[in-house]
């Protein structure tokens, strides 16, 4: 019993090592001393500290923290992209590294207690007046700060002044003014946002307009976002695709997003593939199937996940073909989708993959066959198990047979455990050998 339990731990480790695929999780951690402060990120409520916020785009973020009895903290922070997130290094971080990378950005703010007089002091018209005057300052950074303050106050009487700031000559002011105008006027700001989306000369401002429309969940602006998918700047097209993904699904966006799958920009294609899954329109199935074989691995992954959301069985064969792809994450997604769909028409193809040259393809096929629970797979799995040279893959085949309820000889399990144990010992020896070589190399470097 003790030996069996000891074996389960390295076995679990081994299986995890083979199942893990490279990917990057991007998070912003906002903490305060003391904790419990309310946090707004770009004027969107994010919770109370400590706040863990998953993000997609690197750049500058506006943070605001407020806690009763303490002075409010307003900060504009830069969230830079690490080197491994630059193109083409992101390929190695997402695919080749057998670990999950964490792109963490931590911000700690020490809150200052308010003086008794400050606690009793209320905001006065003079404060609002100072911000309105700040909109006329010659320094664009001060005008931007004034817009940010007015967004925080949400005073309806300042709406006209903020609207005028959306015509400021400085793009950084117009971007913040759009945030402020949306915060103050809510859905009534949509006409101006759509106008800026279509007409502003700066692509970053047009992108900001799309982001604010997404924050409002403005369905009325869907035609404008569809038009923005044709913008000459890829940043704006990507923002429009992201906004269409964030707003409630609308079938009228399906056709333009299908065309966006052919966009030259990677970000646009990825956002379009993901948005089509959320819309769930079956007209997107064939285009998404074609994208399964696109050269960009992230687009392929999103297409596979979207096909799972749509749930059309006609995608089964294409998803089964993806099990033979070199990308481990795509194989994992495709396998999960096939099991989720429960379509058994791909079973003959999966059985053929049990004879693939690639051990990972044989392993993924066995896992899916076990999940589909089709009795046609029993005999092929038995034959594949007996000839399988890879102990991890043969273990997956044995588990698939057990999942199918097939009768297995007790000796098979004994052989399976023995092979896995020997494999684990070999891996451990190799790890020790490499570690020893590294240590010897370090010692030689010191002597030199």
What band does 438 get if pLDDT is binned at 50, 70 and 90?
confident
Query: Residue 213, Cα to own-chain centre: how many angstroms?
Result: 21
Q: Phi then psi for 374, rounded to 5 degrees? A: -100, 125
Q: How many domains does the chain have?
A: 3
Is 101 domain-assigned? yes
Distance of CA 415 to the CA centre of its chain: 41
Per-residue pLDDT for 41 more than 90? no
* 249-305 pLDDT tens trace: 778 889 999 999 999 888 889 889 988 998 888 999 999 999 998 888 889 999 999
Instruction: Quote the CA–CA distance of 31 and 10 in Å, as a whole number.
Output: 37
Residue 15 has pLDDT above 50, yes or no: no
Check which CATH number belongs to the domain holding 98 and give it. Answer: 2.60.40
Q: Are 271 and 246 in contact (CB under 8 A)?
A: no
- Does 66 lie in the same domain as 29? yes
The kind and range of the H/E element at 320 are: helix 316-322
With a cut of 90, say whether residue 344 has pLDDT above it. Answer: no
Domain range enclosing 40: 24-114
Concatenated DSSP letters of 90-148: HHIIIII-SSEEEEEEEEEEEPPBPPHHHHH----HHHHHHHHHHTT-S-HHHHHHHHH
pLDDT per position as a tens digit, 202-236: 999 999 999 899 888 888 899 999 999 999 998 89
pTM: 0.65
- Quickly state the pLDDT bin for 16 (edges 50, 70, 90): very low
- Residues facing residue 29 across a β-bridge: 52, 106
Residue 36 domain flag = yes
CATH code, 348: 1.25.10.10
Do 109 and 49 fall into the same domain?
yes
DSSP codes of every residue in 207-243: HHHHHHHHHHT-GGGHHHHHHHTT-SSHHHHHHHHHH
Q: How many CB atoms sit inside 10 A of residue 246's CB?
A: 16
Burial of residue 212, with CB atoms counted within 10 A of its CB: 0-12 exposed, 13-18 middle, 19 or more buried: buried
Name which of 69-73, 85-89, 282-286, 409-413 the model is least confident about. 85-89
Residue 395 predicted with pLDDT over 60: yes
């Amino acid at each position: 019993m003790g030996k069996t339990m000891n074996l389960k731990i390295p076995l679990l480790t081994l299986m995890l090592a083979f199942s893990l695929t490279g990917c990057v999780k991007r998070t912003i951690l906002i903490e305060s001393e003391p904790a419990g402060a309310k946090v707004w990120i770009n004027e969107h409520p994010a919770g109370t500290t400590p706040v863990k916020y998953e993000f997609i785009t690197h750049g500058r973020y506006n943070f605001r923290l407020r806690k009763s009895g303490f002075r409010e903290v307003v900060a504009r922070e830069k969230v830079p992209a690490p080197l491994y997130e630059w193109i083409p290094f992101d390929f190695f971080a997402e695919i080749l590294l057998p670990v999950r990378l964490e792109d963490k950005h931590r911000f700690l703010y020490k809150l200052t207690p308010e003086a008794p007089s400050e606690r009793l002091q209320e905001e006065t018209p003079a404060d609002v007046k100072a911000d309105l005057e700040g909109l006329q300052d010659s320094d664009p950074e001060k005008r931007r700060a004034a817009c940010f303050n007015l967004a925080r106050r949400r005073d309806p009487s300042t709406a006209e002044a903020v609207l005028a700031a959306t015509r400021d000559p400085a793009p950084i002011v117009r971007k913040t003014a759009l945030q402020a105008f949306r915060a103050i006027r809510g859905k009534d700001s949509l006409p101006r946002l759509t106008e800026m989306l279509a007409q502003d000369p700066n692509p970053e401002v047009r992108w900001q307009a799309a982001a604010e429309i997404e924050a409002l969940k403005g369905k009325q602006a869907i035609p404008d976002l569809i038009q923005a998918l044709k913008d000459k700047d890829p940043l704006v097209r990507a923002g429009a695709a992201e906004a269409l993904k964030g707003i409630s699904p609308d079938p009228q966006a399906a056709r333009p997003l299908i065309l966006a799958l052919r966009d030259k920009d990677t970000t646009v294609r990825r956002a379009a593939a993901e948005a089509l899954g959320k819309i769930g329109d079956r007209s997107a199935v064939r285009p998404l199937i074609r994208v399964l074989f696109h050269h960009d691995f992230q687009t392929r992954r999103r297409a596979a996940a979207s096909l799972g959301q749509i749930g059309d069985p006609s995608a089964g064969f294409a998803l089964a073909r993806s099990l033979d792809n070199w990308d481990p994450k795509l194989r994992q997604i495709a396998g999960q989708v096939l099991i989720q769909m429960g379509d058994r028409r791909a079973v003959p193809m999966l059985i053929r993959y049990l004879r693939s040259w690639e051990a990972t393809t044989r392993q993924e096929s066995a896992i899916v066959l076990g999940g589909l629970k089709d009795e046609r797979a029993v005999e092929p799995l038995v034959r594949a198990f007996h000839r399988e040279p890879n102990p991890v893959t043969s273990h997956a085949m044995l588990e698939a047979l057990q999942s199918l309820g097939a009768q297995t000889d007790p000796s098979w399990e004994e052989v399976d455990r023995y092979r896995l144990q020997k494999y684990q010992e070999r891996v451990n020896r190799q790890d020790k050998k490499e570690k020893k070589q590294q240590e010897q190399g370090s010692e030689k470097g010191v002597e030199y």
